[in-house]
Amino acid sequence: MKPRVAILISGRGSNMTALIEAAKMPDYPAEIVLVLSNREDAPGLKLARDLGVRAVSVETRPFGRDREAHERAVNAELRKANVQIVCLAGYMRLLTPYLVNEWAGRMLNIHPSLLPKYPGLDTHKKALEAGELVHGCTVHLVTEDMDAGPILAQGEVPVLPGDTEDTLAARVLGEEHRVYPKALAKLAIGNNFKT
């Protein structure tokens, strides 16, 4: 049995799409069974449904400032779907220790920089300002410290003369779409996930 995977999104869902497309290949070692967004207007929800994957939203508003209560509702959806691995793909919520601990070793994130360089936001701007010649993306396990968990895979792209934040972001995004499915496959193969 292939491990069952949920993807958490907040927006456009291009990494989500890359993961779903990769998992359609018969020999891919994981199955995408659920997409979950904290925003019901996330464009990625419709994309997921069009690709044949169940997609639900768990809005934050009803939970006010209680982030853990929201995460308990998210986690209930993940457990109901018998998920074994969670992929964050543009999920724009800081997680509490509750959800991180529930999924320790089984939750991945993609970040648009070569970590440990440039954690947090505005990574392309920071790479350009620092005069980097090489930039890229990282897939890592999620731990309580933001963008600091063990690294599973990285992809590099050149920074070219005349690059803007947008041109560099687009080049990195292309690499994200290549690296994330590889990293998920690596985790899925390397662990004995019980159903």
Chain residues binding ligand GRF by CB under 6 A are 9, 11-16, 89-90, 110-112, 137, 173, 176
Position with the least CB separation from ligand GRF: 90
Q: Smaller CB distance to ligand GRF: residue 81 or 173?
A: 173
Residues near 127 by beta carbon (within 8 Å), at least 6 away in sequence: 113, 117, 118, 135, 159, 168
Q: Smaller CB distance to ligand GRF: residue 62 or 116?
A: 116
Instruction: Give the C-alpha distances (Å, rounded to integers) separating 25 from 31, 94, 103.
Output: 10, 32, 26
Q: In Å, how far from its chain's centre is CA 65?
A: 23
The CB-of-32 to ligand GRF minimum distance in angstroms stands at 14
The CB-of-90 to ligand GRF minimum distance in angstroms stands at 3
Q: Smaller CB distance to ligand GRF: residue 72 or 126?
A: 126
CB atoms within 10 A of CB 26: 5
156, 115, 121, 118: which is closest to 135 by C-alpha? 156
Cα 191 from Cα 173, distance rounded (Å): 27
* Active site annotation includes 111: yes
The CB-of-1 to ligand GRF minimum distance in angstroms stands at 27
Burial (CB count <10 Å: 0-12, 13-18, 19+), residue 79: exposed
The CB-of-21 to ligand GRF minimum distance in angstroms stands at 13
Q: Smaller CB distance to ligand GRF: residue 73 or 173?
A: 173
* Candidates 70, 111, 140, 177; catalytic one: 111
List the catalytic residues: 111
